[in-house]
Protein backbone atom coordinates (compact mmCIF):
# COMPACT_ATOMS: atom_id res chain seq x y z
CA UNK A 1 0.00 0.00 0.00
CA UNK A 2 1.44 3.38 -0.84
CA UNK A 3 1.58 5.83 2.03
CA UNK A 4 0.09 9.28 1.73
CA UNK A 5 2.53 10.68 4.31
CA UNK A 6 4.55 13.51 2.78
CA UNK A 7 8.30 13.10 3.06
CA UNK A 8 9.96 15.73 5.22
CA UNK A 9 13.35 17.37 4.64
CA UNK A 10 14.86 18.71 7.85
CA UNK A 11 18.41 19.91 7.35
CA UNK A 12 19.24 19.68 11.07
CA UNK A 13 18.88 15.87 10.92
CA UNK A 14 21.46 13.48 9.54
CA UNK A 15 20.54 11.52 6.41
CA UNK A 16 20.20 8.41 8.60
CA UNK A 17 17.83 10.19 11.02
CA UNK A 18 15.80 11.68 8.18
CA UNK A 19 15.37 8.30 6.43
CA UNK A 20 14.26 6.73 9.72
CA UNK A 21 11.79 9.58 10.36
CA UNK A 22 10.28 9.31 6.87
CA UNK A 23 10.09 5.51 7.11
CA UNK A 24 8.24 5.90 10.43
CA UNK A 25 5.82 8.47 8.98
CA UNK A 26 5.06 6.24 5.98
CA UNK A 27 4.59 3.08 8.10
CA UNK A 28 2.44 4.85 10.68
CA UNK A 29 0.13 6.35 8.03
CA UNK A 30 -0.52 2.90 6.53
CA UNK A 31 -0.75 1.18 9.94
CA UNK A 32 -3.57 3.53 10.95
CA UNK A 33 -5.59 2.06 8.06
CA UNK A 34 -4.76 -1.57 8.94
CA UNK A 35 -3.93 -1.63 12.69
CA UNK A 36 -3.95 -5.45 12.92
CA UNK A 37 -1.15 -5.84 10.36
CA UNK A 38 2.61 -5.65 10.63
CA UNK A 39 3.49 -2.71 8.36
CA UNK A 40 6.89 -1.90 6.87
CA UNK A 41 7.80 1.62 5.78
CA UNK A 42 11.09 2.52 4.09
CA UNK A 43 12.83 5.63 2.81
CA UNK A 44 16.12 5.98 0.93
CA UNK A 45 18.57 8.82 0.30
CA UNK A 46 21.80 8.95 -1.68
CA UNK A 47 24.46 10.99 0.12
CA UNK A 48 27.53 12.51 -1.53
CA UNK A 49 29.68 14.39 0.97
CA UNK A 50 27.10 16.72 2.57
CA UNK A 51 24.65 16.70 -0.33
CA UNK A 52 21.48 14.57 -0.26
CA UNK A 53 19.82 13.17 -3.37
CA UNK A 54 16.24 11.97 -3.19
CA UNK A 55 14.10 11.13 -6.19
CA UNK A 56 14.77 13.49 -9.11
CA UNK A 57 11.87 15.68 -10.20
CA UNK A 58 12.90 15.58 -13.86
CA UNK A 59 15.16 13.80 -16.32
CA UNK A 60 17.44 16.86 -16.32
CA UNK A 61 17.76 16.65 -12.53
CA UNK A 62 18.53 12.91 -12.76
CA UNK A 63 21.27 13.70 -15.29
CA UNK A 64 22.75 16.33 -12.93
CA UNK A 65 22.74 13.82 -10.07
CA UNK A 66 24.57 11.19 -12.10
CA UNK A 67 27.08 13.78 -13.31
CA UNK A 68 27.89 14.58 -9.68
CA UNK A 69 28.06 10.91 -8.63
CA UNK A 70 30.18 9.68 -11.56
CA UNK A 71 33.71 8.63 -10.65
CA UNK A 72 33.04 9.08 -6.91
CA UNK A 73 31.97 7.14 -3.85
CA UNK A 74 28.67 7.92 -2.16
CA UNK A 75 26.46 6.34 0.49
CA UNK A 76 22.99 4.88 0.10
CA UNK A 77 21.05 5.20 3.35
CA UNK A 78 17.75 3.38 3.87
CA UNK A 79 15.60 3.87 6.94
CA UNK A 80 13.12 1.11 7.79
CA UNK A 81 10.24 1.10 10.26
CA UNK A 82 8.27 -1.96 11.32
CA UNK A 83 5.08 -1.13 13.19
CA UNK A 84 2.12 -3.10 14.52
CA UNK A 85 -0.34 -0.66 16.05
CA UNK A 86 -2.65 -3.17 17.71
CA UNK A 87 0.29 -4.78 19.55
CA UNK A 88 1.96 -1.41 20.33
CA UNK A 89 5.22 -2.55 18.74
CA UNK A 90 7.67 -0.81 16.48
CA UNK A 91 11.28 -1.14 15.39
CA UNK A 92 13.20 1.51 13.47
CA UNK A 93 16.63 0.98 11.94
CA UNK A 94 18.79 2.17 9.06
CA UNK A 95 21.39 0.61 6.83
CA UNK A 96 24.20 2.38 4.92
CA UNK A 97 26.05 1.06 1.86
CA UNK A 98 29.02 2.65 0.10
CA UNK A 99 28.76 2.77 -3.71
CA UNK A 100 31.53 3.78 -6.11
CA UNK A 101 30.62 4.79 -9.66
CA UNK A 102 32.79 4.39 -12.74
CA UNK A 103 33.89 7.63 -14.37
CA UNK A 104 31.10 8.35 -16.85
CA UNK A 105 30.83 10.55 -19.92
CA UNK A 106 27.77 12.66 -20.64
CA UNK A 107 26.93 10.21 -23.45
CA UNK A 108 27.06 7.22 -21.06
CA UNK A 109 24.82 9.03 -18.56
CA UNK A 110 22.25 9.89 -21.25
CA UNK A 111 22.30 6.27 -22.50
CA UNK A 112 21.69 4.98 -18.98
CA UNK A 113 18.83 7.43 -18.34
CA UNK A 114 17.24 6.38 -21.64
CA UNK A 115 17.34 2.73 -20.56
CA UNK A 116 15.58 3.10 -17.16
CA UNK A 117 13.00 5.32 -15.43
CA UNK A 118 15.11 7.34 -12.97
CA UNK A 119 12.29 9.46 -11.55
CA UNK A 120 11.21 7.09 -8.77
CA UNK A 121 14.74 6.25 -7.60
CA UNK A 122 16.87 8.07 -5.05
CA UNK A 123 19.93 9.44 -6.82
CA UNK A 124 18.32 8.84 -10.21
CA UNK A 125 19.61 5.30 -10.61
CA UNK A 126 18.73 1.69 -9.86
CA UNK A 127 21.56 -0.76 -9.24
CA UNK A 128 19.22 -3.62 -10.24
CA UNK A 129 18.50 -1.99 -13.63
CA UNK A 130 21.66 -1.87 -15.74
CA UNK A 131 23.58 -0.83 -12.64
CA UNK A 132 26.73 -2.43 -14.04
CA UNK A 133 26.90 0.51 -16.46
CA UNK A 134 27.38 2.87 -13.49
CA UNK A 135 28.68 0.97 -10.49
CA UNK A 136 32.32 0.01 -10.06
CA UNK A 137 31.97 -1.47 -6.55
CA UNK A 138 29.83 -1.54 -3.45
CA UNK A 139 30.70 -1.93 0.19
CA UNK A 140 27.82 -3.41 2.14
CA UNK A 141 24.34 -4.58 1.27
CA UNK A 142 23.45 -4.81 -2.44
CA UNK A 143 19.76 -5.13 -1.53
CA UNK A 144 19.98 -1.86 0.41
CA UNK A 145 21.09 -0.07 -2.75
CA UNK A 146 18.21 -1.77 -4.60
CA UNK A 147 15.81 -0.20 -2.08
CA UNK A 148 15.42 -2.44 0.97
CA UNK A 149 18.16 -3.96 3.17
CA UNK A 150 16.80 -7.50 3.00
CA UNK A 151 19.53 -9.13 5.11
CA UNK A 152 19.00 -6.71 8.00
CA UNK A 153 15.21 -6.89 7.60
CA UNK A 154 15.33 -10.69 7.81
CA UNK A 155 17.31 -10.49 11.06
CA UNK A 156 14.92 -7.89 12.51
CA UNK A 157 11.86 -9.99 11.58
CA UNK A 158 13.41 -13.08 13.17
CA UNK A 159 13.80 -11.07 16.40
CA UNK A 160 10.31 -9.55 16.10
Active site residue 36: no
CA distance 30 to 138: 32
Long-range contacts of 60-64 (CB under 8 A, 24+ apart): 61/124, 62/113, 62/118, 62/119, 62/124, 62/125, 63/109, 63/110, 63/113, 63/124
Closest CA to 76 of 19, 129, 6: 19
Q: What is the dihedral of CA 80, 84, 88, 93, to 10 degrees?
A: -10
CA distance 37 to 13: 30
Question: Which of 36, 43, 120, 132 is the catalytic position?
Answer: 43
CA distance 9 to 70: 25
Residues with a known catalytic role: 43
Amino acid sequence: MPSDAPEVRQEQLTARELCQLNAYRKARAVAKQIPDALVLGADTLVVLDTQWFGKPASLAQAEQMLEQLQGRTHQVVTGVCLVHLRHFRQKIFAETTRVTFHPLSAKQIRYYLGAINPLDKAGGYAIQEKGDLLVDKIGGSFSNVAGLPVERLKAELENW
